């Protein structure tokens, strides 16, 4: 199963670079070509992405990948969910960092022996 994070990242790349190959998407995101292929199939099946076939050269075909209007809407929804997740992570990390700073200050104080 493809994660929402992967859907979002793949959709973003196709939005910016519609002629990018699936292999290049895999390399840029750091996932397998098979995962990109599964993601593309699901995006197309959901009506969020359209693959337009074009002739790329001698007996070779290539695709442009275009987000559909529904795809743009879904990408915006995914962006909002991703933002909410990142904000929660930021707040958690901010609290954790404050706690670690308190602990470090407490440990760095010399202990008086009487």
pLDDT at residue 114 in the model: 66
Distance CA 66, CA 51 (A): 6
This prediction has a pTM of 0.77
Domain coordinates of the chain in residue numbers?
4-108
Cα first-last separation, the chain: 63
Tell me whether strands 49-57 and 60-67 are parallel, antiparallel or unpaired. Answer: antiparallel
> What is the Rg, in whole angstroms, of the alpha carbon atoms belonging to the chain?
22
Enter the CATH code of domain 4-108: 1.10.10.10
pLDDT at residue 111 in the model: 59
pLDDT at residue 5 in the model: 93
Average pLDDT of adjacent 10-residue blocks, the chain of 114 residues: 92 95 95 96 97 76 90 97 96 95 82 64
Q: Which single residue is written with the structure tokens 């809407």? A: 73
Distance CA 85, CA 91 (A): 10
Helix (H, G, I), strand (E, B) or coil at 65: strand
Pull the structure tokens for residue 40: 């593309």
pLDDT at residue 90 in the model: 97
CA angle 107, 109, 112 (to 5 degrees): 115
């Amino acid at each position: 199963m493809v994660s929402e994070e992967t859907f979002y990242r793949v959709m973003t790349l196709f939005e910016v670079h519609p002629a990018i190959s699936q292999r290049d998407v895999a390399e840029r995101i750091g996932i397998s070509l098979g995962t990109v292929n599964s993601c593309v199939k699901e995006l197309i099946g959901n009506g969020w992405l359209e693959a337009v076939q074009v002739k790329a050269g001698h007996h070779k075909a290539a695709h442009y990948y275009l987000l559909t209007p529904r795809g743009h809407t879904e990408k915006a929804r995914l962006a909002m969910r991703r933002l909410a997740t990142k904000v929660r992570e930021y707040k958690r990390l901010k609290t954790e960092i404050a706690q670690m700073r308190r602990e470090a200050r407490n440990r760095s104080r010399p202990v008086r022996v009487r």
